[in-house]
Structure formats: structure tokens, C-alpha cells
Structure 1
Amino acid sequence: MASENHRDTIFLTKQETERIRNTVTNRETKCMKLVGHGREQRDLKAAIAQATSACLIADMGGAWDSGVTHAKIQGGTLPAVAVGRPYPPCIASFRDLEPMKLADLRMDTHHHGRRLTVKRSSPVVSLAAVSWAMVLDDRGDDIERLEVCLHNSRHGEDVLESSSVFVIKEPYFTLTDQGEPTIRVDHPSDLIVSTTSLTLNNEANDYAEDAAEAEKIARRCKEEGNAALQRKNLPLAHAKYTQGLKVARQCVVSVTNSDLVRDIFRNRARVNLLLNQLDEAKADAKASIIGRGDQRSKDLDSKAYFRAGCAAYNIGEYREAKALFEEQQKLTPDDGTSANLRKIEMRLREQEIGTYNLTKIRAGLSRDCPRVNVASFTSNTMVKDSPGRGRGLFLIHDIPAGGLIMCEKAFCVVWGHESEALTAIAYDIRDDRIRVSPVGLHISTVQKLLSNPSQIKRVMDLFSDYQGDGKNAFGTEDGPVVDTFQIHDIISRNAFSPGSQFGEEAAEKASTGLWTCAAYINHSCIANARRNISIFISYDFSNDYDARQTALMTTWGFECDCALCVAEQADGPALRKRRWELAREADWFVERESWVNAKRLTIAKAQRLARDLDDAYDGTRYKNVSRLATQRIREWLTRASPR
């Protein structure tokens, strides 16, 4: 076991592990006993005072008694989350759900087919893994606790701070880890945030009784959206433009109204680009195209094609981006579009033939700009069934020695130095295991999918222990739907650490990323790359069989039965221990002795270590099987004795 002083290791004492386990299991027991019980009404003044006090404590850095369990680690605490009681997100639209009151809530119950409208009535307690506040029902005489778990921010703002009126779809009423009743929201799509002054019970057709009034309201919404954009309040600008579109599109169709709708679409496309909501940005920009021959219309359409092209480029749809920028160039030939087209040609070469200037790419990366601007090259591979291993990634043709198999840009990556990085301790009820969980990557992946629903299926197709409800509903008229429990399991089984690239980092804020093509590469302790067989990489590079098997089971949920593991298992504990001790001695030698200008005596010692390690392998069992423990010392000898 790693010591407490290792910065890349999170150390939990046995007592702390048991405390977390007991907290979760005690909550589960209480919830099971209370299923279906009626809700007890809170004292309004006391509830608001409780939230106000907790908000002050949180602002001063104290969050221990705020309804969230924390794990004590070396140097501080980490949030601890329970995994294992997943429930699907609501896939019904707001208008199809029946209204309910706070008084109708039942304990540890998902209120299917219902919706609850509430108004925030207290300060928001904002913590790393949860935000909560007290909310009133629409009568204003009943109050309850509302919490948003993990996905408590959107576009850099706490969701409970962003408005005062909310609708919870199919609310889940349960207990916190400390036994306090709460309305808990785990799926962001289950919470509708009202960012306008209009009440959520009004429909677009209620905005105005005639077309003239509707057009007047739509223009005011456009102006308010423009003002919000100028103040860089992007969520409010988006909400105002969206409200204006709903009103304007109910007007009697006229040239004036059509131009108003296009203007709002064009403006919202800009906001969507800034919010990285690329699907909607592209659709809005296309919807704003006028198509008339006068110069003003051409200039506006040039702007629309540019915005649509930028959205397509950032999604990775390079051929469509090329077509859109070419249309822009036809309308305004002298606006510098050729530079964008040259950039797209580079992406297409990368995507189609794997041509990369890796030195230039690496030189362009920095702590402030850590993400690559390249296309993925995956055309040498295909995904298909891999016997005994689910789906796997296969080569589809011969590749010369040293050739590029694939190069994939991360779907989502969070670097340890970024504010989004967050590690938590996850206790999984399903297998009674405690794991380190990269919840920062989990949160960022969900946010990206909510912003770009065209990418949801790509991620949801990856392996996860929890398969969701099987309905594959990725959106309603209220917006995109993402099952956060399924994303948690996908991240747990498919994400990797890219390592520290931009300075020292600790395990509490580790760099992690998700590659949706590379995720199909199955594990083997012996890597390969031969035609028409599954590509394997090693998920764990330890040469210690027992440590490797433990890590694979704990993190990835399987026991490896590759040729190396079968051979090492047959060795028995005594031989494995002797080989591990020799490998440690060889590793110490490699770290201590430089191969540059190594003396004959030093080389002879390295040769002796290599021979001793070889002797610790059975010649028959390890015929044509990699001997991991010898690799570092053999590499040292190759460099020290190039002849």
C-alpha cells in the first residue's frame, strides 16, 4: 500500500472507510423503512434560518454538517458520494406532467408523471458536490429543502442561484446522508430553470392576443437579449432570444416578422457559440439565412454562414464546415474566409490519412491552452464483437511497422490544474467497494452532452454497468436528457488519466479524459497490433501480478485472463514474490545508474540482474509471452550497449 506521503495516492484509513460505508448503509436502511410515508411539514422561519446559517458556514469553508458526507484524507477532505441506487431521468415533457404540491410528497419516492413548481426562499448553500436551498410551493405557505447533486452549475453559474422559480419533473423525495428530508435532483434535465420574468405555467400562445402585440413583445425580447449579450450575461441573453422566438413565430407571417425571426435566430446563434452549444448554434445560423440578392442580406447571410461553419468545425463536422465557409466566401470574398478553409483542409488530411505535425501541435500547447486543435484519425480501425470481451477495436488492414494505428482527440478532458478538476470518494453499494472517482470529468461530460445532444448517443453507446431504462430517450421538447448515473458508470469503466502535462498535480485533482473510440480497446497485459484481431492495450502497467489484478478489478471491474496473467498465476505466490523483489532491485539500479558512458562493471551488473530476472521465469510457460519485469533493465542495457 502506498504511504500517506505519496502525492499521487489518496490514503484512507480503515476507520474512515468504515465510517463512509456505515453512513451510506445507515441512510439506505432509514430510506427503506420510510418508503411511501407522508412528508412532515417544516417550520418556515426555522427552515430559512437553517439555510442562511449553512450558507455562512459554507462561505467560510466549513461544509461538514451541510448534508454531504466528506472523506478525511491526508491534508484535507474530499466529497464522498454513494453509487448504486440509480433511477432514470424523466423523459416526459413538462406539459404532459400533472402538477403536485409539496404536501403531496412521499418519502423515498419518485413521483412519476408529476411536476412540482417551487420558488427559492433562502440563500443557496453552494458546495463542491451539491447545492441546496429552501423552496416554497406556489401558495407560499409550505417550505422544503431542494438540492442539486454534482451537476449544480451551468455555464459557470450555480443553477439554484440563476433563478428563483423552478419546476422539478418527477421529483425524488428522500433523505440526505445526515437523515434530513430533501427533494433531490440528480439529472439536470429534471430541473427546469425559469430565467425569464414569465411564469412557467404560461404557454407561448398566452403571450399576446393579436399579432401586433406579439411582434411588439418579440422585439422587446430581442432588445433585452441584445442588452444581456452586451453585459456578457449569456444565459439570460439566450433565454430572452428564445422567448422572443416563441412569441414572434406565433405572429401572422409577414416580411417584417420573417426578418425579425431571422434576426433573433442569428443573434442566438452567436450566443450559442459562446456557450459552446454547437448543435443549436448551427441550426440557428442556418435558420437565419435570408437568401435575397441585396447587399445587406448578403452581409447578414455571410455572418450566418460563418457562425454555422464555426459550429460545424467545433463539432468535428469538417466537410459540412467546409461547405458553409465556401458559401460565406461566395457572398463576401474579401473577408478572410480562405484562412478558415486552409485550416479545414488540414483537419481533413488528419482525419483521412493521419498526417500530423506532432512537433508543432505539442509546441502550441500550454497550461493556458491545453487542448489540441486537430481531427481524429480512426479509419484504420472498426468496432465489432470481441469473443469473451464484449465489443472491441479491430484493425481492418495491414499497417507497416512503426505506422500510425490511430490518433484520437479526447471527447472530454479535465486537466488537474483546471477549476473543473474534482476527485471524490465513491462508495458503490452494488459491490461494496470504495473507489476514487473523477467526478470532475463526469460533470464536464454531462455538461458537454447537454450542450450538444447530437453527441449523446456516441457516449451512451460505451460500456457501463448500469444500462439505464433502455428507452434511449435523449431529449424532450424541454431540452436534452442525459442519464447521469449511466455517465458515471461509463466514466468509471472507460476514462483514463493522460498524466500530468502542465506541472505537478495531486490525486485530489487528477487529470482525466474520455476517448470514445479508444474506449473500445480491450485490455491485455501483453499489448498487440496485428491485422484482423482485436487491439489490446494495458490498463495497468504494474509487473506485480497481484497488484495488477487488484487494480483491474477495483477500477475496471474484471479479472484479467491474458496469456501473461495465466502464466503468472501458475507461478504461485513464492515465485512471484521472488521475481517482484528482483524487479524492484533492477528498477532501483535503472533509476540510480545512468546508461550514458556506463562503465563495463556497471554494465556487467545490469546483465547479471537481467539474467536473474530471466531465471525467475519458467521457460516453457513464458515461451512467446512478454516478461514485464525485465523490460526496464533490458531497455537500459540496449541503450548502454548499442552494439
Structure 2
Amino acid sequence: MSNAVYLTEQEAARIKTTVLNSASKRATLIGNARTPRIAKDAISQATGAALMADMGAMSMGQTQAPDNSSIPALAVGQPYPPCIVPAHELQPMGLADLRTETHHRGFKLVVKRASPVVTGVVRSWAMVQDEAEETERIEVVLHTLRDGQDVLESAKEFVVKEPYFTLTEEGEPTLRIDHPSDLVVVPKDKPPAVPATSEETEKKAVAQKTKGNNALGKNELLAALGHYTAGITLASTLPTPDLARDIHRNRSHVNLLLQHYDAALSDALAALINPFPDPDSDTNPDTEQNTKNTDSRTTELDAKSYFRAATAAYHLTNYPTALRYFQHQKTLMPTDRGAATNIARVGALKAMTCDIRDERMRVAPVGLERAVVDRAFNNASLVARLMTESFGDWDGAEGKGCFATDDGPVVDVFRVHDIIARNAFGVAGKDGSDAGGSAGFWPYAALINHSCVPNTQREFVGDLMVIRATKPIAKGEEIVHSYDESGDYAERQEALLTMWGFECTCVLCEAEKGDEVAVREKRGKLAREADELLKGVAAGGAGSNKRLVMAKAKRLVAALEETYDEKRYRGLPRLASQRLQQLLKK
């Protein structure tokens, strides 16, 4: 399979040894004073590393993350909670005060970037300086992007909340940022001053709107957002709301592109000229009134606003609200067939992780983890639901219940990692095989427990997961589906233990556990032959050899059936031959 990760035992052992040795070394350095850096040498080192990284990417022609042949590795399993104190309440400290392997609780660092940023697939780093011109390395792990731009490159000045000073796996001292909310970007621009007269204010607001439109046309989204925000600040002071509504409508579009769905929804509703009544309001007049005495231009603009509001609500998983706004859009513009919901796509980036808690090597869907954190960090309304409604081994007890400060949302990255590790789904193709390494997180579906004898199955329509019953389910009977459908007992148990942390003891597993080892080994070998045959069929290899393929499938099914004791397996599925049986029925 194209998404298989091939890792030799020696390579896995090397990664594990490096991670565990690094953790052991750091434990001996707790509280040690920081060794000062020579500023010139440190900045020169970072500048050279950035140049080499850029040259390497250019020579490789890289425009995206590398393939599995150079899969990155991450250490996990030493989680710590994010800072839950706003920056203005933290005490200032300097780089000279840092202690090794220490979370400096109650303190903050104000630093300026002093070197180019060295960007990588799962981490970025640079050199920073404080007011005393002390120099130190800062590293952002995994969540390196903010609004589509490397966060360290997005500004010159930062506030590091409760700084964590540690060592990299290579033994390099560094300020490590795991939680996005622990790094506060100091904005470059101040809000515009409001002129004395309305005429001057309107003129400046229009100029900001024009600049925003020009930036949007060049796909400079952050610049457009800044100009629109400045324009709204000015226009909101005018006696009439028309200009402010126009700019809110434009900013809603930019916020959708940036995946700031909370902000996009707020902007879209603020842009409405003649809104439908709120169904939750005490007064709820005839909803048709908003189309009366309204010109076609107003109707068109409100339809656009409702579409943007509906799209934002959809991505916030507020489906009833999204449906209502889409219906309002249709009422206003019944002939418009161009309204389509944006479908969010999750990156397929994977990384090899070594979990220090159980010393297990795992392939983690870190692209999905990054997307989930980014979605929550950019949309505060999602954070509490994410942190409280899903199971994860790390519960972040120290900061539990705090999901925002004055600085913005707080997302515990380590809890998200464990939630995704225990709850994510791979998206399978119609033949049941891997569909390209895609993975997703559906929180309600994740509440359904596993069984190797399921009564439902998963199907996908775009980004919608449908749970379909495969047999009658009685009232009070638990709904279950299968997390892993491998026909080999040992492989299935290993996958369930490694990925989801439990051993399955369902009736099928108990029956397979009772088989002799030689029988299980024979069945496993035949099951792997069946998988190879099905892969060939899925790849279009059946073609003119369809008769030979079907004949081989029949032989394999017969051989597999011989490995099952009829009495012990009566009424139980035969997983090793199940997909072959489906092929023969076609």
C-alpha cells in the first residue's frame, strides 16, 4: 500500500533509544542554571541553518511535506498543561533567569526574534533576545502555523507564557512551545485613530476597505483582515451602519478562508441589512416580512451574508443553525444554485511517535491533530466541547475547566494528541482498503464502543460519517462497530492494544483465542494472501483475469473455512474470509 510505513527494527530501536536517553538526561538537569549563549554565534548558527533548509527544499523541489520515506519522529508522553493565566497577570523574567527542564509557572518572557526562522515539517525554530540582549533558541513543535503562516515568521515580538526551558533530542537547549496559546504574538499595528469629523472618518474607512479588497485580490489574507478590521473600527463610529455592514461582509469571507469560523459567523450576522427574526426571540413576526419593501440589491447582499453564516455554522458543527441560514439564503434567492458548502480537508501528515509512558512506537496522524488544534484555537466555541466530551489518557487536570484567558482560547495540545490517538477514524475506500491515508475525528461516532461482532458499519458521504445498522438492534442493545477488521487475530489484538489501548474480549476473540497456535498461524497466512488478492482487484488488476481471480478467491475461502471449528464458530463472523465472500457475491 502506498501509505504503509516501513520501519526496520533497528531504526525503531534507534528512535526509541534516542527518545528514552534524552528523557533520562533531562531528568538529571532539572533546575540547573542556563548557560548563556554568545549572541553573534547563536544568530549565525540559526541563519546558516535557515539557509541550508531553504536550499535543501529548493534542491528537492519540495512544495509539501515529505513522503513516508522521511517520516518525522516525535517524542510524546510527558504532557504538561497550558498556561491558564492571562499575560498581563504574569510576572516578567529574563532569559538569564531560565532553569533547565523547568516550567516557569507564574512568569512570562517578552522576546524579539533575532534570526531567520528555520522551518521544518513538524517544528520551527529561531533565536530570540530579551531586553538585556541575552540570546536563546525558541522552538514551536507541530503547531507551527497560525493563519497559514509560520507563527515565528509572522511577527518580531512575542510573549512566552510560563516558559518551558528544556533540551531537544539532540541535546540543544531551547524554549519549547507545545501549546499555541503559550505563545502570544505582539501585534505590529495599533488601532487607527478616529478622525474628528464623520466625513474624514468615512473617507479613511473607505480607504481601509479598498486596501483590504486589494489585499484579498492578491490572496494576502492577513493583510486584508487587518485592513478590514481597521475599516470596521472607523466605520462603526459613523451615524449610519451601511459602510460597517459592507466591511463586515468582506471580513466574513476572509475569516472563512482563514478558518476563523466563530469570527466569520459573527461578521456575517453583523452584515445583515434586513435579517430574518431570531426564532429564539420573544417576538417572532412573520418571517416573510424581511423580503417586503426590499430592493434586489439588499436581497442579494443578505443572501450572501446568510450563505457565509451558514458555512461558518456548518464548520462549527452547529448543523441546525447552518440549515436555518441556508434556508434563509434560499428564501431570498430561490434561483441561486451556486451555494455550496465548503468541505474542510484534513492534512494526511503522519509522524512516528515514541510514547514514553509505555515505550511503544506508533504512527500518529499529526496532520489531523494539528488541524483539530488549529480549528479549536481559531474558534473558541469549540474548545470546551473538544476538551470535555471526548476520552483521552491525559486529562490535563491542573488546567481542567479553563478554556480561555484574556489572551484568547486555551487548547491543551497533549490532551488533543491523546483524544485523536484514541478516537480518530481512518477513512476507508469502498473495498474496505485504505483510501489514501485520510483520517478524521467525528466526536459522536467516537463514543461508540468496539466489537469484532459489530451491529453497524461506517460509510462516508463527503465529510459526513453515516453509521448504518447491519442487523436489527433491539431497544436497550448497545450500538457497536469495529475499530479494526483484520482477519488475523494477533494482528487485530496488537492494533487494538497499540492504537486504542485495550485488549478485545468479545465472543469472537474468545473463540479465536481458543484456537491452536498452528491453526491461527495458518489462518493468518491465508488472510494475508486474501488481502494481497483484494489489493490487486482494488487497483484494477482483475481485468481480463477475472475468472482466475474468482477461482483463487474460492480456493482461499475454502481453505480459510477449514481453519474454523463449526461448533465453536456457529453464528460468528469469519473475518479472514468475509471480504472475499463479498467479492464472490458481486
Deviations for 1:6-45, whole angstroms, at most 9, x for unmatched residues?
6442222222222212221222122222222222221111
Counterparts of 2:215 and 2:300, CA distance in 1: 25
Q: 1:226 to 1:184 in 2, by over 3 A?
A: farther
Measure how far apart 1:212 and its partner are.
3.7
Counterparts of 2:512 and 2:175, CA distance in 1: 51
User: 1:575 matched to which residue of 2?
Assistant: 519
User: 1:391 matched to which residue of 2?
Assistant: none
Q: 1:596 to 1:620 in 2, by over 3 A?
A: same
Deviations for 1:591-625, whole angstroms, at most 9, x for unmatched residues?
799999969xx97x977765554343223321222
Mapped contact 1:214–1:248 kept (Cα < 8 A): no
Counterparts of 2:425 and 2:143, CA distance in 1: 21
Structure 1 residue 479 and structure 2 residue 408: aligned? yes
| 1:326-341 superposed matches below 5 A | 336=333, 338-339=335-336
Mapped contact 2:215–2:223 kept (Cα < 8 A): no
Deviations for 1:70-127, whole angstroms, at most 9, x for unmatched residues?
xxx9984221100011111222223222222222222222222222221111111011
Measure how far apart 1:584 and its partner are.
5.7
Choose which of 212, 218, 227 in structure 1 pairs with 2:211: 227
Deviations for 1:118-160, whole angstroms, at most 9, x for unmatched residues?
1111111011111111111135x22111111111112321111
User: 2:480 matched to which residue of 1?
Assistant: 536
Deviations for 1:330-368, whole angstroms, at most 9, x for unmatched residues?
8xx5xx35537x979xx9xxxxxxxxxxxxxxxxxxxxx
Counterparts of 2:11 and 2:556, CA distance in 1: 41
Counterparts of 2:249 and 2:584, CA distance in 1: 64
Structure 1 residue 192 and structure 2 residue 184: aligned? yes
User: 2:145 matched to which residue of 1?
Assistant: 153
Paired amino acid for 2:254: V
Mapped contact 2:212–2:226 kept (Cα < 8 A): no
Mapped contact 1:119–1:137 kept (Cα < 8 A): yes
User: 1:462 matched to which residue of 2?
Assistant: 390
| 1:128-147 superposed matches below 5 A | 128-139=121-132, 141-147=133-139
Structure 1 residue 629 and structure 2 residue 556: aligned? no
Counterparts of 1:62 and 1:305, CA distance in 2: 42
| 1:312-461 superposed matches below 5 A | 312-317=313-318, 319-321=320-322, 323-324=324-325, 336=333, 338-339=335-336, 413-414=345-346, 420-460=347-387, 461=389
Structure 1 residue 489 and structure 2 residue 433: aligned? no
Q: 1:535 to 1:54 in 2, by over 3 A?
A: same
Report the more deviating stretch, 436-445 or 262-271.
262-271
Measure how far apart 1:220 and its partner are.
5.0
User: 1:37 matched to which residue of 2?
Assistant: 32
Choose which of 446, 465, 473 in structure 2 pairs with 1:519: 446
Structure 1 residue 9 and structure 2 residue 1: aligned? no
TM-score normalised to the size of structure 1?
0.72
**Number of residue pairs matched by the alignment:** 531
Q: 1:105 to 1:500 in 2, by over 3 A?
A: farther
In structure 2, the residue corresponding to 1:510 is in which secondary structure? Answer: strand
Structure 1 residue 282 and structure 2 residue 265: aligned? yes
In structure 2, the residue corresponding to 1:117 is in which secondary structure? Answer: strand
In structure 2, the residue corresponding to 1:620 is in which secondary structure? Answer: coil
In structure 1, the residue corresponding to 2:159 is in which secondary structure? Answer: strand
Structure 1 residue 563 and structure 2 residue 507: aligned? yes
Q: 1:191 to 1:237 in 2, by over 3 A?
A: farther
In structure 1, the residue corresponding to 2:578 is in which secondary structure? Answer: helix
Measure how far apart 1:287 and its partner are.
3.3
Q: 1:423 to 1:563 in 2, by over 3 A?
A: same
In structure 2, the residue corresponding to 1:255 is in which secondary structure? Answer: coil
Mapped contact 1:217–1:244 kept (Cα < 8 A): no
Aligned-residue identity in percent = 46
| 1:204-283 superposed matches below 5 A | 212=196, 223-224=207-208, 226-232=210-216, 233-242=220-229, 255=239, 265-283=248-266
Deviations for 1:561-610, whole angstroms, at most 9, x for unmatched residues?
111110111113122223334556777888799999969xx97x977765
Structure 1 residue 60 and structure 2 residue 55: aligned? yes
Q: 1:337 to 1:481 in 2, by over 3 A?
A: farther
Counterparts of 2:212 and 2:376, CA distance in 1: 25
Q: 1:298 to 1:499 in 2, by over 3 A?
A: closer
Q: 1:564 to 1:7 in 2, by over 3 A?
A: same
In structure 2, the residue corresponding to 1:23 is in which secondary structure? Answer: helix
Mapped contact 2:208–2:231 kept (Cα < 8 A): no
Measure how far apart 1:451 and its partner are.
2.6
In structure 2, the residue corresponding to 1:285 is in which secondary structure? Answer: helix
Deviations for 1:148-176, whole angstroms, at most 9, x for unmatched residues?
11111123211111111111222211111
Mapped contact 2:330–2:336 kept (Cα < 8 A): no
Measure how far apart 1:274 and its partner are.
2.7
Choose which of 540, 546, 554 in structure 1 pairs with 2:498: 554
Mapped contact 2:148–2:258 kept (Cα < 8 A): no
Counterparts of 2:131 and 2:146, CA distance in 1: 25
Measure how far apart 1:524 and its partner are.
1.5
Counterparts of 2:326 and 2:529, CA distance in 1: 60
Measure how far apart 1:473 and its partner are.
2.5
In structure 2, the residue corresponding to 1:498 is in which secondary structure? Answer: strand
Measure how far apart 1:423 and its partner are.
1.5
Choose which of 170, 174, 184 in structure 2 pairs with 1:182: 174
Mapped contact 2:488–2:527 kept (Cα < 8 A): no
User: 2:163 matched to which residue of 1?
Assistant: 171
Counterparts of 2:507 and 2:177, CA distance in 1: 46
Structure 1 residue 619 and structure 2 residue 566: aligned? yes
Deviations for 1:536-573, whole angstroms, at most 9, x for unmatched residues?
22222222111211122112211111111101111131
| 1:104-115 superposed matches below 5 A | 104-115=97-108
Counterparts of 1:517 and 1:81, CA distance in 2: 28
Counterparts of 1:225 and 1:48, CA distance in 2: 39
Mapped contact 2:426–2:434 kept (Cα < 8 A): no
Measure how far apart 1:46 and its partner are.
0.8
Mapped contact 2:90–2:106 kept (Cα < 8 A): yes
User: 1:361 matched to which residue of 2?
Assistant: none
Mapped contact 1:218–1:245 kept (Cα < 8 A): no
In structure 2, the residue corresponding to 1:624 is in which secondary structure? Answer: coil
Q: 1:518 to 1:339 in 2, by over 3 A?
A: same
Over aligned residues, Cα RMSD in angstroms?
A: 4.0
Counterparts of 1:513 and 1:322, CA distance in 2: 23
Mapped contact 2:307–2:339 kept (Cα < 8 A): no
Mapped contact 2:195–2:201 kept (Cα < 8 A): no
User: 2:462 matched to which residue of 1?
Assistant: none
